[in-house]
Chains A and B, each alone.
Chain A
Amino acid sequence: MGRTLTFKIFRYNPTLENDQAHIEAYRLEELPRLNLFSALNMIREQQAPDLMFDFVCRAGICGSCAMMINGRPTLACRTLTSDLPDTIELFPLPFFKLLGDLSVDTGVWFRAMGEHLESWIHTQKEFNPEAQEERMDNETAIKIYDSERCIECGCCIAGCATAQVYPDFIGAAGLNRIGRFLFDPRDERGDQEWFELVSTDEGIFGCIGMMACDDVCPKDLPLLEVFSYIRRKVTAMAVK
């Protein structure tokens, strides 16, 4: 209580001619249970009206607000200042297109990733509004849900060494998405199709397995488990 916090924030407006990327410092009196959502809004409203950042749900659910907080990619809305030192450095996530200051274009990247992986159920079946739903056991549903929980925040990509040097890498979020559909019995894609999608350098072979992604994922997705499942699958497919 009673701390004065110093925020050192990366500033750059790409729509402004001749703007230079730089760091600007802002001071703020700490309040009890202050999180970075409130802190950044206070800074914007009182000191820097043009400061750009993204929040939507402010509840750790929508994945909008990932940024580098003292060097670590994580969700700003659920980061409390009380867990941070007096000086807080904020940078935009690397890898993604910078829109300005702390705002990056994760949306466009994730849409492209989804299109590339054809992130939808591939099925020949037509929906029949008269019929009862197809059955699924609850364990399978939960397993799919465990991967479906990804909020597309981009933290795993920002923390991934491969992604920084190899921009076509689909990243942990992409691999996890593959896992989500591999687990799903409704998806009729065959081994061959999966194999072509996954067993590339953009896919599972690009991953060096140091699991930085697992360490930073704010939703604690079971990435380790998903990757080893994919590896086993790919090996089995290759053997066939």
Chain B
Amino acid sequence: MRVITSDVLIIGAGLAGERTAIACAKEGLDTMILSLVPSRRSHSSAAQGGMQASLGNSVMGKGDNPTVHWLDTVKGSDWGCDQEVARIFADNAPIAMREMAHFGVPWNRVKGGKQQVFIKGKKATIEEDHATEGLITARAFGGTAKWRTCYTADGTGHTVLYTMDNMVLQLGIPVHDRMEALRLIHHDSRCIGAVVRSLRDGELRAYIAKATVIATGGYGRIYGESTNAVINEGSGSWLALQTGIVPLGNMEAVQVHPTGIVPTDILVTEGCRGDGGLLLDVDEYRFMPDYEPEKMELASRDVVSRRMKEHILKGKGVQSDYGEHLWLDLRHLGERHLTTKLREVYDICMYFIGVNPITELVPVRPTQHYSMGGIRVNKDGQAYNLKGLFALGEAACWDMHGFNRLGGNSLAETVVAGMIVGKQVAKYSKKAELNIEVTLAEETAHIERQKIDKLVNGTGKENVYQLRDEIGRLLTKYVHIFRTGEGLQTATAELKKIVARTGDVKVRTSAPGMNPELSIALRIEGMAKQAYVIAKGALDRTESRGAHFREDYPARNDANWLNRTLVRWPVAAEEPQFEYEPVGLLDLPPGDRGYGGGQMIAMEISIADYNRKVDSEQSVKGRLEPSEPTGAKLPKEAWRAELEGKE
């Protein structure tokens, strides 16, 4: 078996992986990136709307600062996030945007003078200060107090990824594309790389490094109906779950985006509503102000999706061959806006569903979109329990999003985390030794070889595509916007059976090379087991928080559930193990989000008592000691000046 060594191995060539690679290569470390696809085709390129950073250059962002951004993020998370991590993020986001400008992103810029815009659905004129002309501008997004989302038209992910990848070229960092990491090579306490299968010719290789970084993006495709790229099948989080010792965090926290188009589930960006788009029902009536008088179409995603579904259940949906949907009205934005700032949206509507958004309504419905959960890491990005393993980006649960992430906060997270975690990876790699343990690598590869042999030559009877479809159907039916104990019981029972059936898959062709059926067959156990932990986590969490909404437990319960779900699946065990840890230090006390209108059950202990346990309880769960003490980056009550200043 070929063994390829480097100082740092980065699995994933999206924004998170590439920014980490740049941080490491700049420190002189030998850095290697792997990707399922050419780096620029990674899913980051599909992000349209933008990234949040409190630059406050536009007049509509006046008075913005990291504290206001942090407040929006914590409220958005429904207090499920780690407030210190959210702070690290908000503080560094402006630097990240400026650095990306320095690297070459053509951010849209402030134009001085009067501009026609839409605010809360109404035409308005704003006047941009000539003093800020030429600085990075921003648009409105959901759940934010200010216009804070930096953008390049509606191709933000594309330009930022292309620019990042240009840096990767400049630094000469190799990207081995069409490679799939299948299994981590590790001992009980240290990770030394991964066994990887080439999607060009099927070869198995070992990549060995001092530090291994998982930046593999989200797991949305497990749902089947999803806005995600078809490669987002959770093969990265599976790498961690498979170890039996590294926990995943908050897997049940799955975001459903209000505007996937019908059919095809392709996303049209939140920027549509940010720029003034409206949601209409079967009577072409604008219903959101009735539910959310303050934020209207721009409440957080969990809330808007829930309100849409609620409205459909009231009989106000539009019937179609593809089920019920609502309308997104962009007509009033006009041709110029739609063919420049929302051009990708325009193209998607025209090409995929034959709808011209300049003159027609766009059919939309809430669709699976983002994975808040993922590989649980400490604030430096180190995975729990396994030295030498890091994770970041959508694949990780760092955890700045808690139970609902704000639009524009995810792309920004990938770049900020890449800066922060990248530094820690570099620091770790400089001190660590390279353990080229070929026997261990061979043993690890042997497990995969046996799996392949069984899939190709075994006596199994299951069809992998059928299992994949059943998993997707169950999650979409029972673990979506509205969840109930009964539905989740059914889902977990069915998924349990599917997990067992994945051991009985047989592929129909032994063709060498890429063999697409074999590739998915190698992923299906991971998909089924992750689906199971998503459903089981949702069943056990008897409260509603952010995107996790239980009809039978509609209140957010801070007395019992102000915590993070951790799940491990011990090797060869029948059942995964669930545990819970405190969300992190609380600085902003749990309160009302200002939208969504849910009930709350208050904490029973004091914040000081809660905070006292955070460190010890997290380290018992396997959290590695971070480089700085817990709380070092969380300024105490900085929010008071903002909230009290306002009142």
Contact = CB atoms under 8 A, between A and B. Distances in A.
B104 A120 contact: yes
Given A13-B512, A57-B43, A132-B135, A107 B38 contact: yes
Interface stretch (B116-124, B158-166, B438-446, B483-491): B158-166
Contacts of B38: 64, 106-108, 110-111, 152
Contacts of B347: 60
B10 to A, nearest CB: 16
B102 A133 contact: yes
A35 interface: yes
B95 A129 contact: yes
Contacts of B41: 56-57, 62-64, 107
Nearest to A131: B98
Interface in A111-127: 111, 114-115, 118-121, 123, 125, 127
Contact of A148 (B162, B170, B512, B514): B162
A103 B137 CA distance: 40
Interface string B19-54: 000000000000000000111111101100000000
A5 interface: no
A63 B40 contact: yes
Given A13-B511, A49-B507, A145-B152, A61 B344 contact: yes
A78 B352 contact: yes
A210 interface: no
A129 B99 contact: yes
A145 B159 contact: yes
Interface in A167-192: 184, 186
A114 B46 contact: no
A127 B152 contact: no
* Band of interface residues on A: 35 or more
Given A59-B46, A78-B352, A133 B133 contact: no
Given A13-B511, A49-B517, A64-B37, A145 B231 contact: no
A208 interface: no
Contact of B511 (A16, A33, A110): A16
A149 interface: yes
B108 interface: yes
A35 B516 CA distance: 20
Given A133-B135, A141-B108, A120 B229 contact: no
A88 interface: no
A92 interface: no
Interface centre among B107, B514, B517 (most CB of A within 10 A): B514
A32 B152 CA distance: 34
B570 interface: no
B513 A52 contact: yes
Interface string A40-69: 000011000111101111111111100000
Given A50-B516, A137-B109, A186 B104 contact: yes
A211 interface: no
A203 interface: no
Contacts of B230: 55-58
Nearest to A187: B104
Contact of A57 (B46, B165, B507, B508): B46
A119 B43 contact: no
Interface string B265-285: 011000000000000000000
A239 interface: no
A107 B177 contact: yes
A136 B108 CA distance: 9
Nearest to B199: A99
A35 B261 CA distance: 15
A103 to B, nearest CB: 7
A18 interface: no
Contacts of B127: none
Contacts of A134: 101-102
Contact of B101 (A50, A107, A133): A133
A142 to B, nearest CB: 7
A144 interface: yes
Interface in B165-179: 165-167, 169-170, 175, 177-178
B98 A133 contact: yes
Contacts of B165: 114
A144 B153 CA distance: 12
Interface string A1-35: 00000000000011110000000000000001101
B166 A151 contact: no
Most buried by A among B111, B134, B135, B167: B134
Contacts of A100: 513-514
A16 B169 contact: no
B202 A141 contact: no
Interface in B433-472: 465
A137 B134 contact: yes
B512 A16 contact: yes
10 contacts: A16-B512, A58-B229, A59-B348, A60-B352, A62-B43, A63-B41, A120-B169, A132-B135, A148-B106, A184-B104
Given A32-B321, A50-B509, A59-B266, 14 more contacts: A16-B513, A33-B263, A33-B354, A49-B517, A57-B45, A57-B46, A59-B267, A61-B158, A131-B98, A133-B102, A136-B134, A137-B111, A142-B108, A151-B158
A-B residue pairs, 8 tightest by C-beta: A107-B38, A135-B134, A15-B513, A144-B106, A120-B166, A50-B511, A49-B517, A78-B351
